[in-house]
Amino acid sequence: MHRINGERWEADKPMKFNSISDDVYLGKDVKLSTFINLYGCYIDDNTKIGAFVEIQKNARVGKNCKISSHTFICEGVTIEDNVFVGHNVVFVNDTYPRATTPEGGIQTEKDWKVEKTLVRKGASIGSGVTILSNITIGENAIVGAGSVVTKDVPPNSIVAGNPARFLRSLNNDKQQ
């Protein structure tokens, strides 16, 4: 038995701390952790979403993906099938973000254009990675933990660092 805000809570009662809007598409057998924020996004079959993840409108996550905790997937990001996204990964969708317009008013959606990012099938993104906008991460590529991705990542390659740099190609062996 636990106490939340002074009230008794039985362990067999599920705790719901998720914000999932009505316009979210969830495919078959999607697994959702608690403390998530999903709105206007598309999540395909058999994908797992970890705790403290936010996925914004017009973002897409494919089949058989694993999105680890504390990850932020913003509008304009497409993640294809079989992709691993580590903990605390951040996607960016604006090259020159500003809070205000040149006239001094708070920016709205009309004041900027979403810049897209694509993560191709089978890619793996390590924990703590930041991915800037207008980037494609190639099929089966691996991005090392803590990297900052500032340019496209070739398919079947390993990149790491700040900025992320090509380390080597993946062989067709058991490393994939």
Could you count the other beta carbons within 10 Å of the beta carbon of residue 78? 17
Domain coordinates in residue numbering, the chain: 16-94+111-169
Q: Homologous superfamily of 16-94+111-169 in CATH? A: Hexapeptide repeat proteins (2.160.10.10)
The tokens for 97 are 């973000």
Where are the strands (E) in 44-141, listed by range?
48-49, 54-55, 60-61, 66-67, 72-73, 77-79, 84-85, 90-91, 117-119, 124-125, 130-131, 135-137
pLDDT tens, residue order, the chain (176 aa): 444 445 554 545 455 678 888 899 999 999 999 899 999 999 999 999 999 999 999 999 999 999 999 999 999 999 999 999 999 999 999 999 999 999 999 999 888 899 999 999 999 999 999 999 999 999 999 999 999 999 999 999 999 999 999 999 997 555 44
Task: Indicate the SS3 state at residue 90.
Answer: strand
